[in-house]
Chain A
């Protein structure tokens, strides 16, 4: 099979590292060659964070370049706009509708853009938007936004529920497993 490209973006602190570990586990369980790229360090302090997921028979580059991603998964709306250029023609934006104001907006030096979902569609993307924050709170904690979004993303993979559950068990601390399973399910069925 040809290599599939997914880009997961969000705001530092939203748990993108855990999300990409979950993705990696699922891909291993399914037996693919996979590469998952993360960013650590300074950008994690509330900055814009991007992770790349690639899988197939043989994967070379660990990063997904401009115009190559079939799925852009965003934990925050503005980040979907920032990274929109990674999307391949006809690709899908899977996004949380939650808005987190970056410092320039908080300080009044910039405006949070309006009607971004419409603009994604105007630029030829399919849009799958959910209120992941509300669903995360329903699952028991606003901190499970990442897992709600991964649940949503799971709809785009032909993997069994068992694969995802196993992957969750391998990535989430046992104490929070049930809550995360619930968050995953809520995201998948929203």
Chain B
């Protein structure tokens, strides 16, 4: 059957068709929808893991039990899971195991634009790179075969444009696969020096076999066209190159990106007059070509930074035909903002009022760094806020706190808190608990007590977890209560010893959050002092020097009413949510 599927959904479909029985992942843009889509197949046990390392280990455990397994993550998630990856490369698998990794050139929703291909080389595992949804499905299925045949975990590399574009796929039925028996084999699975040493040559032999496969696989193919120009490319860049050149240039399309072929590339180079590599991010293919002694151009033409596009490619080759016109006008930016009624707004207002040094973390609350709140000083990676705060405070840093979300706390924040509880510092850790993984689009997590299918399961109690880490002072606040939040945060910042403040209020976008009636401004009372503008609520703006509330957006959270000294926000005269 032909269907239009998101690249991510096509990977999920491929996993289902390949007979996968278990998937365990942590959400992360642009990879989230793979696992969300897998969860819709009843035959596959699917879970959100607390972090990518756990997800990868769960998948590995499952493949040992003899069932095909899957884990998916964004590029930075692979950093978290890297420890596991480097050694399961040595142990290999029993049933097939596939790791999908979605890179994000352009950083649409990420903190860096690292190139995951280096991981495949460093960890000595094969990597496939599909160029559209059809290949996402087909390559994922093939990846399971290769994983079993070559006894290795295998990476399918995606990028934003592949993950988040829908294209046509041909779907098939699910393969019925027998469970492979688990056979005790400590020499293969217990990686202590005595057993690991003999595994390393096996890994090298495997990579050498895979290199031979890379020479002849259909995933790497020459599309002969005009021979003045030969382009080596892969993934979404292949589509851009075809868009620009069609049959006018010859293309070597690489779907098997690690290990790369050698003879095939040399053979291709001989067929064309000029050889160019078109790839996003690092010169991974180009360096390989240079190592082969080929006269090739790549990053001399194309940037190491951001995404490519058909126009960029056309322009660099001097064949750009038309360019769009720009409106000659200052177009104000439209940066992402915290939603109206967001439970993080009050918290960051208080922190900005206290002029606190704020170690931030990854989530919706990272938007606390933007105007007018401007109340975040750092943001590095999942969990770094807590450990960063501990170091800052231990080195004499003053007036500092950290803010981390519930899901990020469960992901990697706990480790930092163990350090604070163990080595004790005067740190004030704020856990912004909005009862959901927000930024990636509302995924359940260990602190919500529901699983990926919305079923009630175990629940990690944040307060008890903090206690278990050795924290004695634990307070809970409602971040929408500004006076109380300010009082408690101030108190904890001024009290020696470690403390945790749980700022608890569910995300306003949750179905269970019922919006209150929208507010109205009493124009007689409003003096136009703009105090209410300091919280950056998208529902409030100034009209004719008076505050005005957008009734479609306002959910009556009442954070603004607490700032107004003139009692100008009128709850009673407000309209109901959704009215205008």
Contact = CB atoms under 8 A, between A and B. Distances in A.
Contact of A27 (B4, B326, B538): B4
Interface stretch (A108-116, A152-160, A178-186): A108-116
A137 B579 CA distance: 9
B165 A87 contact: no
Nearest to B332: A110
Interface in B302-345: 309-311, 322-339
A85 B331 CA distance: 12
B332 A63 contact: no
Given A41-B108, A59-B167, A141-B578, A103 B337 contact: yes
A78 interface: yes
B334 A11 contact: yes
A35 interface: yes
A79 to B, nearest CB: 7
Nearest to B551: A142
The SS class assigned to the B binding surface is loop
Given A84-B326, A142-B580, A33 B541 contact: no
Contact of A38 (B164, B236, B542, B552): B164
Contacts of B536: 103, 106-107
A46 B339 contact: yes
B532 to A, nearest CB: 11
Contact of B29 (A33, A40, A63, A119): A40
A108 B336 contact: no
Interface in B486-536: 533, 536
Q: How large is the interface on A (under 10, 10 to 19, 20 to 34, 35 or more residues)?
A: 35 or more
A87 B326 CA distance: 9
B171 interface: no
A73 B533 CA distance: 32
A8 interface: no
Given A44-B336, A106-B538, A119 B108 contact: no
A163 interface: no
Interface in A55-88: 59-63, 65-68, 78-79, 81-82, 84-88
Contacts of B580: 137, 142
Given A45-B336, A45-B337, A103-B371, A113 B331 contact: yes
B441 interface: yes
Contacts of A78: 331-332, 334
B4 A34 contact: yes
B72 to A, nearest CB: 14
25 contacts: A12-B336, A28-B4, A35-B166, A36-B167, A41-B29, A45-B439, A48-B333, A60-B242, A61-B240, A62-B162, A62-B236, A63-B310, A65-B311, A82-B331, A84-B324, A84-B326, A85-B326, A88-B324, A105-B332, A108-B533, A111-B332, A113-B329, A124-B325, A142-B552, A143-B578
Give 5 closest A-B pairs by Cβ, nearest first. A41-B109, A41-B29, A67-B324, A62-B165, A85-B324
Interface of B: 2-4, 6, 29-30, 32-33, 108-109, 132, 160-162, 164-168, 236, 239-240, 242-243, 309-311, 322-339, 364, 367, 370-372, 439-441, 533, 536, 538, 540-542, 552, 578, 580
